[in-house]
Amino acid sequence: MAILLKCNSIFLHVPKTAGNWVADILEKNDLVFSHFGGKHSNMEQINTFEKWFNLPEQYYRPKQPFTKFCFVRNPFGWYESFFKMQRKLNWPKWGVDPAVWHPNAALDGLGSQDFNMFVSNVLKRCPGYVSNLYGWYLLPRIDFVGRQENLAEDMETILEGLGVSFDRDVLWKTAPVNKSDDADIHWEPDIREEVAYTEFSVFKQFGYEYLLPWNSGKEMISAYSVDRREYGIYGEGETYIPKSYTYNASKIETLQAPFIHEAGYAWKISLPKYESIADDEELGKAHRSKMIMFEDGQPLWQRHIYHEEIRRLGEGRYSHWKSNLFFSTTDNSDPNTNGRIYQIVFLEKEE
Band of residue 228 on the pLDDT scale cut at 50, 70, 90: very low
Nearest to 142, CA basis, from 192, 244, 93, 69: 69
pTM tops 0.85: no
pLDDT digits (tens, 9 = 90+) for 153-196: 999 999 988 889 999 999 999 988 766 666 678 999 889 888 88
Cβ proximity of 325 and 343 under 8 Å: no
In this predicted structure, what is the pLDDT of residue 15?
A: 93
- Gap between the Cα atoms of 226 and 326, Å rounded: 23
In this predicted structure, what is the pLDDT of residue 214?
A: 37
Averaged pLDDT score across all residues of the chain: 80
- Gap between the Cα atoms of 280 and 52, Å rounded: 46
Q: Which residues of 179-201 are buried (b: 16+ CB within 10 A; e: fewer)?
A: ebeeeeeebeeebbbbbbbbbbb
Q: At a CB cut-off of 8 Å and minimum separation 6, what does 121 contact?
A: 110, 111, 112
Pick from 199-203, 236-240, 271-275: least confident: 236-240
Asked if pLDDT for residue 278 goes beyond 50, the answer is: yes
Pick from 106-110, 225-229, 278-282, 326-330: least confident: 225-229
pLDDT digits (tens, 9 = 90+) for 188-205: 988 988 888 888 778 877
Query: Cis bond leading into 189, ω under 30°?
Result: no
- Secondary structure class of 11 (helix, strand, coil): strand
